Amino acid sequence: MLEPEIVAFVERTKALYPGDRSASTVVEQRAMYERLAAAFTPPLPDGVRAHDAPFTSPDGHTCMLRLYAPAQRERCERSPGTVLYFHGGGFVVGSLASHELITARIVADTGLCLIAVDYRLAPEHPAPAAHDDCLAVTRAALDGRLPFGPLPTSLQLAGDSAGATLAASVAMRLRDEGVKGVRGLALVYPMLGVEPQSPARETEAEAPMLTLADVRRYSALYWGDEAGNEADRADGANGSIGGMRASVSARIAWTIPLEASRYDGLPPTLAIGVEHDPLRDDARVFAERIRAAGGQAHAPVGKGLVHGSWRALATSPGVRWMHGEVCRFLADHAAG
């Protein structure tokens, strides 16, 4: 059952972001998404300042970064830690501005510094472009090469939806390369595979805000034909994804956390699923695999919530709980 405040949130959202948006062009969808985000985004909280700067990766791609810092601190490196935040939007929509409600509030409520990443979007830039951007920014953060001057050396990764895919896969790629330094991984309604996990894939296929068809459309726009083939195989195998890994090329396999062959050696992980979301069980399965490999992972479920509901922070008790869980996790793990 939806939380009453979430019912009102869904109705308000429908007026700004119609359910038939897939019939619009990608440019039009992005414009609608930005209007939706702006309607829920207040001014920066008192005590938080923001600063933009470009970052160019070693392979020559440039993306914008936005640093949010506690204004009361004379220098950002005196903050307890830094969070790299990767926004959601199915790899297709979203921007630095679209998630400012979330990123600014994390800083206001934790005292941490946060850097939001404006990675390349699909379909113009299919997989692994977004992951490559986020991986390059993370490596630069660990090496002290970001364009903001000295930052706290304690680094964590966070993201929602597709941004959670980016955060999780970057952490796994660094683990594979033997690169240390990421102290925590915070994921909210994560999209961790090209096809959602059961049973939510079936029971929440027509959930408000995000349907199974939406997930598959975004997957196809980012991962291409391989994502569509994966969805077809899932339907034909009654939801089983066993044996699908062979169908995903090495070029993009590392970008899909639930296609990984190992789950050990990851930083402590918080993966929050929400009740009414076809992606709900991605968080649970990911956490189960991490724990089975000897790691630390917690996967609470936001009861009565829907995908994208972090924007209802001002009105929803459930979203305030979810936001509080993220902030506590990041604050607790900033010092290792």
**Residue 258 three-state SS:** helix
CA dihedral 176→181→184→186, nearest 10 degrees, is -70
Cis (ω within 30 of 0) for the bond into 42? no
Beta bridge partners of 328: none
Angle at 132 between CA 242 and CA 225, to 5 degrees: 45
Q: Just list the catalytic residues.
A: 161
Distances (CA, A) of 261 to 166, 242, 290: 17, 12, 11
CA dihedral 260→266→268→272, nearest 10 degrees, is -20
Scan for tokens 């209802």, then name that residue: 312
Residue 299 CB neighbour total at 10 angstroms: 22
Half-sphere exposure of 200 (CA within 13 A, CB side): 26
- The tokens for 221 are 């726009």
Beta bridge partners of 159: 86, 187
Question: What does the alpha-carbon distance between residue 274 and residue 280 come to, in Å, rounded to a whole number?
Answer: 5
Question: What does the alpha-carbon distance between residue 303 and residue 151 come to, in Å, rounded to a whole number?
Answer: 36
Distances (CA, A) of 238 to 10, 219, 261: 31, 19, 22
Distances (CA, A) of 127 to 45, 139, 222, 255: 35, 19, 6, 8
DSSP for 276-289?
Answer: E-TTHHHHHHHHHH
Give residue 323's identity as a one-letter amino acid code.
H
